């Protein structure tokens, strides 16, 4: 067991020692920029012994060899696990890898953190402005038609430029040998200048050959530019002498610009330009329109970023001191691959100005020694990866550029393009337009004033409309505006509009104003109408009240009639009942209920009740006691003999005497009334007193007991 533990311990020491050796070797490769070899070791260490240094250098190795997808993977690990004291530069690199996978929102978030962590407070404002400008460029849409050339291979091709009926560009050795050296940065063989007839650039099997055997070496040659007469070429090559590669103290062979002259069909007099140095790179030459200025990229001392664009004046073959184009063009990142078009525009690639990918192509107007703010040249020429080595014929709007975008044939491919839209960069805008009219007749209101106000009600513009009443304002997107319209002797009106980010659409700001005179007239009409309505309402109210009264009266009448009818019915029922039950109750010929009694006699001209009459009246009293609700009228009548007035008074006295007797017999006075009719209601009418017999007079001289109520 002890022996086994010793073996494990020794193996562990050896394993740790091997890891340490791998880490040291990877670090040496990384420091020498041998990234392709460093990646192999760092990938192993990332699995076995991850650390901030390992993950960071592995991510950087992929980043510098343009494998941005894998770089993104390790930058993400770096931020998730080792983000303490991390240099802000890593936010920038991480953002570039996010663009490579079209993750623009995440990329912009990372860039926002990058600029926010700057010591310069203006950087965040700069980033915001750059975002807005890129959005404005995107709004133009696709500006170019592009085509991948037939000369491309799985290796790198870039730096294309027409020359004497051919296309000259940089490519790896056409048929590399087994023992050819490889560029340890990205593990490809070294670049050479090659050419192909322009007629064959899209051929299935183009006839590609070395551009010049005199210029070809075992080092990099790329990015040639020719004078208009075709007799001078400037190109990029590794630091060398007599075709032998040279390095500096750090064993780095920096790039330099060389010049060669065409003599008797051969490129001769190859010389290194005087401002080259073994300690920094000078690359990517470009000539001004008059060929008196040479532009190039360099990381020489005094550069703002890792690479800047420089210019140097050429005086009769001699070169002045190079000048940095300054912060308008250069950033603290990379600016490379300059090109000057015939219409005096400087094109270059940059990852410091905000773009769609890593290197994007930008353009700046040249005005003497001044350069305008660079503008991204747009889509689809610029992509989510690297786009560079741009050249254009200003007359035909055609040219070439290189890109490692998806869909190509190799790591860097040459594309042919044609510019189809002008680069007109405008802030997002919309329009607010409309017509000011009279609300009543719909006609335009000439000389009405229209004001445009912002969200804070600040007046931005004021106009007076013409006879057609029309107006129009140009406004910025994603803002709120208020349109205010007014005219003398008219009302003021306003409308607030929320403007979105859709470009170049027109919003309706039309307003209708009302005449104050029309308002006054309408108010009068309304008042008159209200007065009439009130009168009508009052009249209707009265009519309703009258109808209600009529209805109530009718209802009361009906109720009364119903009541009378009911009483009558009840009376009839009682009459029927009493007629059945009482033999002394009869109906006379006048449809009256009469208590039928024996005659009640009074002495002549007297009214007291005789003894025999009291017996008769007793029966009446008995009947009234039997029917407590019975009410009677005592009607007393005389014959026609004697004075009528006397007869009337006599009959009343007799009726009263009869009533008095009944009351005294215990019947309530309210139940008995007495009426003397005298001779006015005879049973038998006598024309003269002598015309009637004594029996007739006796019949007329009577007392009747009429039942008024039961």
CATH code of residue 289: 2.120.10.30
Collect all residues with Cβ–Cβ distance below 8 Å to 84 and sequence separation of at least 6: none
- Residues 519-529, mean pLDDT to the nearest whole number: 91
Is 651 among the domain residues?
yes
Convert the pLDDT of each residue in 599-654 to its tens digit.
777 776 778 888 888 888 888 899 999 999 899 999 888 888 888 888 888 889 88
Collect all residues with Cβ–Cβ distance below 8 Å to 585 and sequence separation of at least 6: 578, 579, 593, 594, 595, 596, 623, 707
Residues 414 and 436 grouped into a single domain = no
Task: Measure the CA–CA gap between 56 and 86, rounded to whole angstroms.
Answer: 10
Is 361 among the domain residues?
yes
CATH of the domain at 475: 2.60.40.10
- Residues 518-542, mean pLDDT to the nearest whole number: 91
3-class SS at 391?
A: strand
429-438/506-508 β-pairing = parallel
Is 539 among the domain residues?
no
Is 444 among the domain residues?
yes
Residues 372 and 451 grouped into a single domain = no
Nearest in space to 79 (alpha carbons), one of 101, 122, 109: 109
Positive or negative, the CA dihedral 45, 49, 55, 57 is negative
Tokens of 58: 């592995």
Q: Given the structure tokens 């000539």, which residue do they identify?
A: 287
Residues 652 and 676 grouped into a single domain = yes
What pLDDT was estimated at residue 188?
Answer: 56
Is 577 among the domain residues?
no
Residues 224 and 265 grouped into a single domain = yes
Using the 3D structure, point to which of 376, 400, 419 is the last residue of a domain. 419
Residues 355 and 315 grouped into a single domain = yes
Task: Measure the CA–CA gap between 308 and 371, rounded to whole angstroms.
Answer: 14
Convert the pLDDT of each residue in 440-466 to its tens digit.
999 999 999 999 999 999 999 999 999
Residues 275 and 377 grouped into a single domain = yes
Residues 414 and 443 grouped into a single domain = no
Is 19 among the domain residues?
no
Residues 468 and 388 grouped into a single domain = no
What pLDDT was estimated at residue 610?
Answer: 80
Say if residues 605 and 650 touch (Cβ distance below 8 Å): yes
End-to-end CA gap in the chain: 141
Nearest in space to 308 (alpha carbons), one of 374, 251, 260: 374
Q: Given the structure tokens 């229209």, which residue do they identify?
A: 450
- Residues 310-319, mean pLDDT to the nearest whole number: 95
Is 208 among the domain residues?
yes
Residues 414 and 467 grouped into a single domain = no
What pLDDT was estimated at residue 686?
Answer: 87
pTM (global) more than 0.75: no
- Greater confidence (561 vs 58) lies with 58
Convert the pLDDT of each residue in 174-232 to its tens digit.
554 433 444 444 445 789 999 999 999 999 889 999 999 999 988 889 999 999 999 99
Task: Print the domain residue range for 666.
Answer: 585-709
- Residues 310-338, mean pLDDT to the nearest whole number: 96
What pLDDT was estimated at residue 554?
Answer: 83
Using the 3D structure, point to which of 482, 514, 546 is the last residue of a domain. 514
Is 458 among the domain residues?
yes
Convert the pLDDT of each residue in 465-509 to its tens digit.
999 999 999 999 999 999 999 999 999 999 999 999 999 999 999
Task: Measure the CA–CA gap between 315 and 324, rounded to whole angstroms.
Answer: 18
Question: How many domains is the chain partitioned into structurally?
Answer: 3
Using the 3D structure, point to which of 356, 388, 419 is the last residue of a domain. 419
3-class SS at 122?
A: coil
Residues 210 and 349 grouped into a single domain = yes
- Greater confidence (435 vs 17) lies with 435
Collect all residues with Cβ–Cβ distance below 8 Å to 341 and sequence separation of at least 6: 347, 392, 394
What pLDDT was estimated at residue 173?
Answer: 61
Residues 415 and 437 grouped into a single domain = no
CATH of the domain at 593: 3.30.1330.60
CA atoms within 13 A on the CB side of 440: 10
Residues 468 and 351 grouped into a single domain = no
Segment holding 286, helix H or strand E: strand 282-287
Print burial letters for 311-320: b (CB count within 10 Å at least 16), e (below 16). Answer: bbeeeeeeee
Nearest in space to 257 (alpha carbons), one of 226, 286, 236, 230: 236
């Amino acid at each position: 067991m002890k022996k086994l533990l010793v073996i494990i311990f020794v193996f562990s020491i050896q394993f740790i020692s091997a890891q340490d050796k791998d880490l040291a070797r990877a670090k040496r490769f990384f420091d020498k920029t041998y990234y392709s070899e460093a990646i192999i070791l760092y990938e192993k260490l990332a699995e076995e012994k991850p650390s901030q240094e390992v993950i960071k250098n592995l991510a950087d190795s992929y980043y510098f060899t343009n494998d941005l997808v894998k770089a993104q993977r390790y930058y993400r690990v770096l931020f998730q696990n080792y983000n303490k004291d991390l240099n802000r530069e890593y936010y920038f690199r991480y953002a570039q890898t996010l663009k490579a996978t079209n993750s623009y929102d995440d990329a912009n978030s990372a860039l926002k953190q990058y600029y926010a962590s700057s010591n310069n407070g203006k950087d965040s404002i700069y980033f915001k402005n750059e975002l807005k400008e890129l959005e404005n460029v995107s709004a133009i849409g696709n500006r170019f038609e592009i085509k991948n050339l037939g000369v491309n291979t799985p290796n790198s091709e870039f730096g294309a430029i027409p020359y004497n009926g051919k296309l000259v560009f940089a490519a790896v050795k056409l048929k590399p040998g087994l023992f050819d050296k490889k560029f340890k940065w990205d593990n490809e063989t070294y670049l050479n200048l090659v050419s192909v007839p322009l007629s064959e650039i899209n051929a299935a099997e183009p006839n590609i050959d070395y551009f010049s055997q005199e210029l070809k070496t075992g080092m990099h040659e790329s990015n040639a530019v020719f004078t208009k007469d075709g007799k001078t070429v400037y190109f990029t090559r590794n630091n060398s002498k007599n075709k032998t590669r040279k390095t500096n103290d750090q064993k780095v062979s920096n790039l330099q610009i060389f010049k060669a002259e065409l003599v008797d069909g051969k490129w001769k007099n190859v010389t290194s330009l005087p401002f080259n140095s073994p300690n920094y790179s000078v690359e990517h030459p470009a000539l001004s329109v008059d060929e008196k200025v040479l532009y190039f990229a360099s990381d020489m001392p005094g550069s703002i970023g890792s690479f800047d664009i420089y210019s140097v004046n050429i005086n009769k073959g001699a070169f002045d001191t190079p000048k940095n184009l300054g912060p308008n063009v250069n950033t603290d990142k990379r600016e490379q691959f300059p090109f000057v078009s015939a219409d005096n525009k400087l094109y270059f690639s940059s990852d410091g100005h905000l773009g769609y990918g890593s290197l994007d192509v930008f353009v700046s107007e040249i005005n003497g020694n001044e350069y305008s703010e660079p503008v991204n040249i747009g889509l689809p020429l610029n992509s989510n990866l690297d786009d560079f080595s741009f050249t254009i014929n200003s007359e035909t709007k055609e040219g070439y550029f290189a890109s490692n975008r998806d869909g190509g044939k190799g790591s860097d491919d040459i594309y042919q393009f044609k510019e189809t839209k002008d680069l007109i960069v405008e802030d997002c805008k919309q329009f607010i337009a409309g017509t000011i009219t009279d609300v009543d007749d719909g006609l335009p209101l000439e000389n009405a004033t229209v004001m445009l106000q912002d969200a804070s009600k600040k007046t931005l513009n004021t106009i007076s409309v013409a006879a057609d009443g029309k107006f129009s304002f140009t406004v910025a997107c994603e803002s709120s505006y208020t349109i205010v319209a007014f005219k003398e002797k008219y009302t003021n009106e306003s409308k607030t509009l929320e403007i979105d980010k859709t470009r170049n659409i027109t919003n309706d700001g039309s307003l209708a104003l009302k005449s104050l005179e029309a308002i006054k007239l309408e108010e009068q009409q309304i008042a008159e109408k209200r007065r009439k309505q009130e009168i009508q309402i009052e009249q209707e109210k009265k009519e309703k009240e009258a109808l209600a009264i009529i209805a109530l009266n009718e209802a009361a009448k009906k109720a009364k009639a119903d009541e009378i009818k009911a009483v009558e019915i009840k009376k009839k029922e009682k009459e029927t009942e009493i007629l059945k039950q009482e033999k002394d109750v009869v109906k006379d010929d006048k449809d009256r209920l009469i208590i039928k009694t024996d005659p009640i006699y009074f002495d002549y001209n007297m009214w007291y009740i005789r003894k025999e009459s009291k017996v008769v009246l007793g029966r009446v009293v008995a009947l009234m006691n039997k029917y407590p609700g019975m009410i009677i009228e005592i009607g007393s009548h005389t014959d026609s003999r004697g004075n009528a007035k006397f007869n009337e008074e006599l009959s009343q006295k007799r009726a009263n005497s009869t009533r008095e007797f009944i009351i005294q017999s215990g019947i309530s006075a309210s139940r008995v009334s007495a009426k003397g009719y005298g001779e006015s209601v005879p049973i038998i009418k006598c024309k003269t007193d002598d015309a009637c017999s004594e029996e007739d007079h006796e019949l007329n001289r009577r007392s009747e007991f009429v039942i008024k109520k039961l």
